[in-house]
């Protein structure tokens, strides 16, 4: 990890405007991604972690989805929000690549794995099919798929779940992107396969020096992988800190709640029951006007119900959006 910022998100808001009402999925989030950094984005389902990341490449249905005015995403000095979909296409897969959550559905079932892997490569580099297939074979080898050469001709249904996810990762690496967005790539897999994939990702980070945005609802997985963690709630970043700082010194009541609900491996602790956070996240059909966590928060005071706190720095590099810390 270096100090060079390769992606800077400023005040990103995404909303879905449908006939029967709007959903404000992402509400003004800002963060920087450094070269070689692994950034964990953590939150419950529906907190906007996936939408905010996919919006970087406009990989959401638009309409009804819309990146609200005032949002900016800077990559190499260019604002990606302002780019047309044609110009943005040059970034997709080439600069920023995505590893999707469910390898079962993320592959096209009627195309061979090889054809799907080389598509983007041929498009971006304009090389021949043969060269592209050679590169695909190399990457499949690297990601631990045996007999890569013959497997390229196989269809996704002939791959097991773990192998498909390896192929998905190999596919994302084809164009040597500087950023990988990994959208819960282990959630759909068995536990043993999960740890294999995690190890693979660590190897890749070492080998390619790629920055990774790791989206997950699982604080445990993120703890072992990320350098920095953004905790998201109701489309906002409520806490952001270095991974050790966040785990040993959580400040936001929501983060504390999330950590409290983690099962502990500490034997002395087995008397303690797992805590869960009472209540449900708010329905995001209106713009946020008060602290979205106030209704579930045991420390909430009057001020929390009348205004929305913004993310601000407490101790060095530790940011929290809460009135009471």
Partner 1 sequence: MLLVITLIVFLLANLMPGDAAMAMFGSGDGSITVEAIEQQRENMGLNDPVLVRYFRWLGQLLKGDLGVSQVTFQPVWEMIQLRIGPTLLLMGTSLILSIIIGVALGIFSAVKQYSIADYILTILSFIGRSLPIFFIGLIFVYFFALKIPVFPTSGMHSMGASGFADLLKHLFLPCLSLSILRIAEFMRYSRASMLEVLNSDYIWTARSKGIKERAVLIKHALHNALIPIITLIGINIPVLFSGAIMIEQVFQWPGLGMLFNTAVTQRDQSLLMGLCLFSAIIVLVSNLLTDIAYALVDPRIRYE
Partner 2 sequence: MTMGLFREKGIYEGASDAFASEGFWKKAVQRFFRHKLAVIGIVLLLIITLMSIFYPIIRDSSIAFEVNYTAINASPQSGNIMGTDALGRDVFMRLMLGGRVSLSVGLVAAICSTLIGITLGGIAGFFGGKIDNLIMRFTDTMMSFPFLVICMVLVSILGPGIGNTMLAIVLLKWTNAARITRGEILYIRERQFIEADKALGINRFKTLFAHIIPNALSPIIVNMTFTMADTIMTEASLSFLGLGVLLPTPTWGNMLKDASSLVTLSMRPWLWIPPGIMIALTVLSINFVGDGLRDALDPKANL
Binding site for partner 2 (CB under 8 A): 44-46, 217-218, 220, 261-263, 276-277, 280
Q: Say how many C-beta atoms besides its own lie within 10 A of residue 261's C-beta.
A: 12
263 binds, among partner 2, partner 1, none (CB under 5 to 8 A by kind): partner 2
Q: Which of 5, 82, 90, 303 binds partner 1 (CB under 8 A)?
A: 90
83 binds, among partner 1, partner 2, none (CB under 5 to 8 A by kind): none
Strands 228-233 and 38-42: parallel
Order of strands across the sheet with 38-42?
96-99, 179-183, 211-216, 38-42, 228-233, 236-242, 319-320, 312-313
> Which DSSP state fits 207?
H
Cis amide linkage into residue 64, ω under 30° from 0: yes
Nearer Cβ to partner 2 (86/273) = 273
Task: Tell me which residue has tokens 């994939």.
Answer: 197
Verify binding: residue 98, partner 1, rule CB under 8 A: yes
Question: What x-and-dash track marks residues 236-265 binding partner 1 by CB under 8 A?
Answer: ------------------------------
> Which DSSP state fits 109?
T
Q: Which of 2, 85, 261, 285 binds partner 1 (CB under 8 A)?
A: 85
159 binds, among partner 1, partner 2, none (CB under 5 to 8 A by kind): none
Nearer Cβ to partner 1 (93/292) = 93
Cis amide linkage into residue 63, ω under 30° from 0: yes
Q: Which stretch binds partner 1 (CB under 8 A): 74-82, 88-96, 133-141, 230-238?
A: 88-96
Nearer Cβ to partner 1 (106/234) = 106
Q: Which of 20, 45, 63, 274 binds partner 1 (CB under 8 A)?
A: 63
Nearest distance, CB of residue 121 and partner 1, angstroms: 9
Nearest Cα residue to 115 out of 141, 146, 169, 151: 151
Q: Say how many C-beta atoms besides its own lie within 10 A of residue 136's C-beta.
A: 25
158 binds, among partner 1, partner 2, none (CB under 5 to 8 A by kind): partner 1
Q: Which residues pair with 7 in a beta bridge?
A: 33
Is residue 145 within 8 Å of residue 103, measured between CB atoms? Answer: no
Verify binding: residue 171, partner 1, rule CB under 8 A: yes
Verify binding: residue 217, partner 1, rule CB under 8 A: no
DSSP-assigned letters across all residues of 238-267: EEEEEHHHHHHS--SHHHHHHHHTSPP--G
Which residues, other chains included, contact 194 with Cβ-Cβ below 8 Å and sequence gap of 6+? Answer: 186, 221
Nearer Cβ to partner 2 (46/161) = 46
Max CA-CA distance within the chain? 66
Is residue 7 within 8 Å of residue 211, measured between CB atoms? Answer: yes
Nearest distance, CB of residue 238 and partner 2, angstroms: 15
Q: Which of 48, 65, 120, 257 binds partner 1 (CB under 8 A)?
A: 120
Helices (H), 69-190: 85-88, 113-125, 129-142, 148-151, 161-173
Nearer Cβ to partner 2 (218/299) = 218
Verify binding: residue 301, partner 1, rule CB under 8 A: no
Q: Which stretch binds partner 1 (CB under 8 A): 152-160, 201-209, 230-238, 258-266?
A: 152-160
Binding site for partner 1 (CB under 8 A): 54, 57, 59, 63, 85, 89-94, 97-98, 100, 102, 105-111, 116, 119-120, 123-124, 155, 157-158, 171, 175
């Amino acid at each position: 990890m270096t100090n060079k910022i390769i992606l800077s998100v400023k005040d990103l808001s995404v909303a879905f405007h449908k006939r029967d009402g709007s959903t404000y999925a992402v509400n003004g989030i800002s963060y920087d991604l450094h070269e070689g950094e692994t950034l964990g984005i953590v939150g419950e389902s529906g907190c906007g972690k996936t939408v905010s990341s996919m919006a970087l490449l406009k990989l959401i249905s638009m309409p009804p989805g819309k990146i609200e005015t005032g949002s900016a995403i800077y990559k190499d000095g260019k604002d990606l929000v302002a780019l047309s979909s044609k110009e943005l296409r040059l970034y997709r897969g080439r600069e920023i690549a995505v590893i999707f959550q469910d390898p079962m559905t993320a592959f096209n079932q009627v195309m061979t794995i090889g054809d799907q892997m080389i598509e983007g490569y041929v498009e971006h580099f304009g090389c021949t099919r043969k060269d592209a297939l050679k590169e695909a074979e190399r990457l499949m080898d690297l990601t631990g798929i045996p007999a890569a050469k013959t497997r390229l001709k196989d269809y996704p249904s002939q791959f097991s779940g773990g192998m498909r996810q390896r192929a998905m990762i190999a596919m994302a690496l084809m164009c040597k992107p500087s950023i990988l967005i990994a959208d819960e790539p282990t959630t759909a897999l068995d536990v043993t396969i999960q740890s294999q994939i995690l190890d693979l990702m660590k190897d890749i980070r070492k080998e390619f020096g790629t920055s990774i945005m790791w989206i997950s609802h699982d604080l445990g997985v993120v703890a072992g992988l990320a350098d920095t963690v953004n905790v998201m709630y109701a489309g906002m970043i409520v806490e952001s800190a270095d991974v050790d700082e966040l785990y040993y010194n959580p400040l936001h009541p929501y983060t504390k709640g999330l950590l409290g609900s983690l099962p502990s491996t500490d034997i002395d602790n087995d008397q303690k029951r797992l805590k869960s956070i009472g209540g449900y996240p708010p329905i995001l059909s209106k713009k946020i006007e008060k602290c979205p966590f106030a209704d579930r928060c045991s420390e909430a005071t009057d001020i929390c119900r009348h205004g929305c706190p913004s993310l601000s720095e407490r101790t060095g590099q530790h940011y929290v959006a809460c009135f009471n810390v």
